[in-house]
A and B are shown apart, each in its own frame.
Chain A
Amino acid sequence: MSAGLVAPASAVDVVVRGRVRRGARRRVVVAVLAVAVVVLFAVTLMVGQTFYPPGDVLRVIAGEQVQGASFTVGRLRLPRAVLAVVAGLCFGLAGTTFQTMLRNPLASPDVIGISTSAGAAAAVGIVLLGLSGTAVSTLAIGAALGVALLIYTLAFKDGVAGTRLILIGIGMAAMASSVTSYALSEAGSWDFQETLRWLNGSLNGTTWGATVPALLALVLLGPVLLTQTRNLSALQLGDDTASALGVRVERTRLLAIVAAVGLIAFATAACGPIAFVSFLAGPIAARIIGPNGSLLVPAALVGALLVLVADLVGQFAFDTRFPVGVVTGVLGAPYLIYLIARSHRTGGSL
């Protein structure tokens, strides 16, 4: 075995220097993204109808009673900001997992109908079945897993072909959003705000009750995906190569799909399918970080940034307040069109 281990020091040096350089670039970008998330999180807590300085915000978080700030920051802004970060991390992680695994930026859960199905199930649960709370989340999660399984089964033929899966998924998304529209048309006016959340995604009126399940899902399922980092990187080289490198392809794919769908479903049950965050996070992270290792962590951070920025823009940039999903939708749609146009120009499949 040791026969293959001869390499001149100069060649080893080239390898080590390249690896250290790529690692350093990666660490800097991840650190900058993390700091940006913290800063925007703080800004979300401070600004609003009343501005509270960082000192007041910190005291509220530490559990002290501060006149006015305790309610506004502690009850209204904190759950909203935490959910923005948690949902962004969930959407970013899950989106880039799907895109990496299926080797296609179009294969994100919000394009192939998984987020939309979770949203549709929640809308049906609230409006038609009169459910609330945990029951709604459960229904959303069941629908997301069911649809993911259905898409996977329909697309399966001698292994899963990316293009077939994406086209079937786009069909599923269309069906799910028509279900949401139907539920919406049946809604009484008191349900309207609530149901709108399931169409576009919104952080308005976020409570701790909605935030905590999503946070738990992130804490439990996020690490599961992180343990698959190397396997997912190997899957990028094609199923045959990954298998030759000792990756159990179907098992890795199943584990990644279940974990990613779980993240999407819990986040969606809390704030609706915030449009295009899963879809945009991975490609943006790839642009920033370059080909320097796994995208999971950077894409998660970009997802959190997107939701925080879009929510601030939606709340304060215009005279009218827009839900966060409207802002991310406006950002994401042109990129979707660009990707489809590009794949047609290059003569490639989707």
Chain B
Amino acid sequence: MTTDHSLSAEDLTLGYGERTVIADLDLVVPPGRITAIVGANACGKSTLLRSMTRLLPPRAGRVLLDGAAVHRMPAKQLARTLGLLPQSPIAPEGITVADLVGRGRNPHQGIFTRWRTEDDVAVAAALQATQTTELADRPVDELSGGQRQRVWIAMALAQQTDLLLLDEPTTFLDVSHQVEVLDLLTDLNRSRGTTIVMVLHDLNLAARYADHLVAMSAGRVHATGTPEQVLTEDCVRAVFGLDSRVIADPTSGKPLMLPLGRHHTAAPAATAVEG
């Protein structure tokens, strides 16, 4: 079903106050796939995601979901199709895991609607998918960083949207938890066909987990396509201003970027394969 949804940006210009962050951006999100947005700090990645859930109205252009401008859609209707996990969501003091995950049901509830069985089932399914059922009655404050991130993803899952946007879902996590979160998102994509769009800092993890890469630079899309097409030495130089080597990842076959700093890079690796 989810392949029916199309999400795109047309001539999108975004900014805060006097500052323009994104100018005339065009982007098409491939339905049913995992898209990763990469780019240097402050290149407008998060701003783009915020705009897609209508938190930030466009200066010009529009974001289209299934052909309709998201900023004109009723808020709850949009939130039943498109979910967003922001970079630093706030957990109220003492809130339990199940209660927090239940907040994801908000777009499915009216002012006077009582809690229904389907809400319980949705929360349970979200807990199950993120393997947090055994944490259900624990306060969120007491969880580890990795557990907490899974709980937030569970909240977004309880929302039962066919598209899910995530702003740096792996920040502040150690490497094993980063992989755990990305594996979970891949499971979701494969088992339910959920379209996933995520901003990621780690280029190599982005290249490994995404079907589609978008490299942004200074508010524009610099390159877009498969990881092999996008993650090249030229692209890394243009987007990050960094010299690098790109080789084939021996574990996944996807491109792997090795940064070249001013030190510790005396001899080019003999085994390097041009990307």
Chain A residues in the interface with B (C-beta under 8 A): 1, 3-8, 11-12, 14-16, 18-19, 22, 103, 157-158, 227, 230, 233-234, 236-241, 243-249, 286, 290-293
B159 interface contact, C-beta 8 A: yes
Complex interface bits, B160-190 against A, C-beta within 8 A gives 1, otherwise 0: 1010000000000000000000000000000
Chain A residues contacting B139 (CB-CB under 8 Å) are: 291
B95 interface hit (Cβ, 8 Å)? yes
Count how many chain B residues have C-beta atoms less than 8 Å from C-beta atoms of the other chain: 60
Residues of A contacting B79 in the complex (Cβ-Cβ under 8 angstroms)? 244-246
Distance in angstroms from B120 CB to nearest chain A CB is 5
- The reply on B85 being an interface residue by CB < 8 A is yes
Known: A234-B103, A240-B55. 9 other contacts (CB 8 A): A6-B125, A6-B128, A12-B120, A15-B123, A103-B90, A237-B100, A240-B84, A243-B54, A246-B75
**In this complex, what residue of A is CB-closest to B46?**
A240
Residues B160 and A4 in contact, CB atoms below 8 Å apart:
yes
Interface status of B265 (Cβ within 8 A of chain A): no
Q: A-B pairs with CB below 8 Å: how many?
A: 140
Expressed in whole angstroms, the minimum distance between the Cβ of B115 and any Cβ of chain A is 7
How many angstroms from the CA of A292 to the CA of B93 in the assembled complex? 11
Are the C-beta atoms of A238 and B125 separated by less than 8 Å?
A: no
B88 / chain A contacts, CB cutoff of 8 Å: 238
- Nearest CB of chain B from residue A269's CB, rounded to whole Å: 29
The 8 closest A-B pairs by CB, nearest first: A246-B79, A240-B86, A244-B84, A7-B124, A291-B94, A246-B107, A246-B76, A7-B125
Assess whether B250 is interfacial by the CB under 8 Å rule.
no
When the two chains form their complex, are residues B124 and A15 in contact, meaning their CB atoms are under 8 A apart?
yes
Q: Bound state CA distance, A103 and B78, in angstroms?
A: 26
Q: Which residues in B have their C-beta under 8 angstroms from that of A248?
A: 75
Please give, as numbers and ranges, the residues of chain B lying within 8 Å of A245 by CB-CB distance. Answer: 79, 103-104, 106-107, 159
Closest chain B CB from A158 CB (angstroms)? 5
Binding site for A on B (CB under 8 A): 1, 16-17, 50, 53-55, 75-80, 83-96, 98-100, 102-104, 106-107, 109, 111, 115, 118, 120-128, 133, 136-137, 139, 156-157, 159-160, 162, 191-193
Chain A residues closer than 8 Å to B80, beta-carbon distance:
246
Residues on A with C-beta less than 8 A from B137 are 14, 18
The residue of chain B having its C-beta at the shortest distance from the C-beta of A235 within the complex is B90
**A-side contacts of B102, CB under 8 Å:** 19
Q: How many angstroms from the CA of A230 to the CA of B102 in the assembled complex?
A: 11
A15–B159 CA distance with the chains assembled, in angstroms: 16
Q: Shortest Cβ distance from A161 into chain B, in angstroms? A: 13
Chain A contacts for B127, CB-based, 8 A:
7, 11, 14-15
**In the complex, A14→B78 CA distance in Å?**
30
A-B contact pairs, 30 of them (CB 8 A): A3-B192, A3-B193, A4-B122, A4-B126, A4-B157, A7-B121, A7-B124, A7-B128, A14-B133, A15-B124, A15-B127, A16-B120, A18-B136, A18-B137, A19-B115, A22-B99, A230-B106, A237-B90, A237-B92, A237-B103, A238-B88, A240-B89, A241-B86, A243-B84, A244-B55, A244-B159, A245-B79, A245-B106, A246-B75, A247-B75
Hey, which chain A residues are within 8 Å of B133, CB to CB? 11, 14
CA of A259 to CA of B228, assembled, Å: 56
Decide if B90 touches A241 in the complex (CB within 8 Å). yes
- The residues of B that contact A286 with a CB separation of less than 8 Å are 93
**Chain B residues with CB below 8 A from A14, complex form:** 98, 124, 127, 133, 136-137
Q: Are A244 and B85 in contact (CB under 8 A)?
A: yes
Q: Complex Cα distance A119/B102, Å? A: 41
Q: A346 to nearest B CB, angstroms?
A: 13
- Known contacts A241-B89, A247-B75, A291-B94: does B17 contact A15 (CB below 8 Å)? no
Q: Name the B residues within 8 Å of A243 (CB-CB).
A: 53-55, 75, 84
The smallest C-beta distance from A146 to any residue of chain B, in angstroms, reads: 25
Once A5-B121, A7-B124, A227-B111 are accepted as A-B contacts, the answer to whether A15 and B136 lie under 8 Å apart by CB is: yes
CA distance A14 to B133 in the complex (A): 8
Q: Which residue of A lies closest to B108 (CB)?
A: A246
Beta-carbon contact of B1 and A249 below 8 Å: no
Q: Please, which residues of chain A bring their CB within 8 A of the CB of B83?
A: 244
- A5, A8, A234, A237: most-surrounded residue (chain B CB, <10 A): A237
Which residue in chain B gives the minimum CB-CB distance to A242? B106
* Chain A: CB-nearest residue to B19: A158
A197 to B: closest C-beta gap in Å: 36
Indicate if the CB atoms of A158 and B16 lie closer than 8 Å.
Answer: yes
CB–CB B106/A8 < 8 A = no
